[in-house]
Amino acid sequence: MEGLEKLLGERVTLFCANYFYAGTLLGVNKTFVMLGDPSIVYETGPFNEKGYKDEQKLGVKEWYVRIPAIESFGVLK
């Protein structure tokens, strides 16, 4: 079965209950995923356009997101 591990090293978007996160998927374990060069996406804009309308860098090298908070994920933009 494929999942998050297949996307290691890719720039991913995580759709979570409260926020959307984007960044390079650096690690996955049973509890968390680790994103490199992470951002919060406050407004996506049209999905067929390059980039997000309001994507704000978190200003850190790495950020962790709990797996139970992730509703869907993939390589999007």
pLDDT score, position 54: 97
Residue-wise pLDDT for 7-18, tens only, equals 999 999 999 989
Q: What string of DSSP letters covers 1-34? A: ---GGGGTTSEEEEEESS-EEEEEEEEE-SSEEE
Q: What is the mean pLDDT of residues 21-37?
A: 97
Q: How confident is the model at residue 77 (pLDDT cuts 50, 70, 90)?
A: confident
pTM of structure: 0.91
Work out the mean pLDDT of the chain and round it to a whole number: 95
Within 13 Å of residue 26, how many CA atoms lie on the same side as its CB?
13
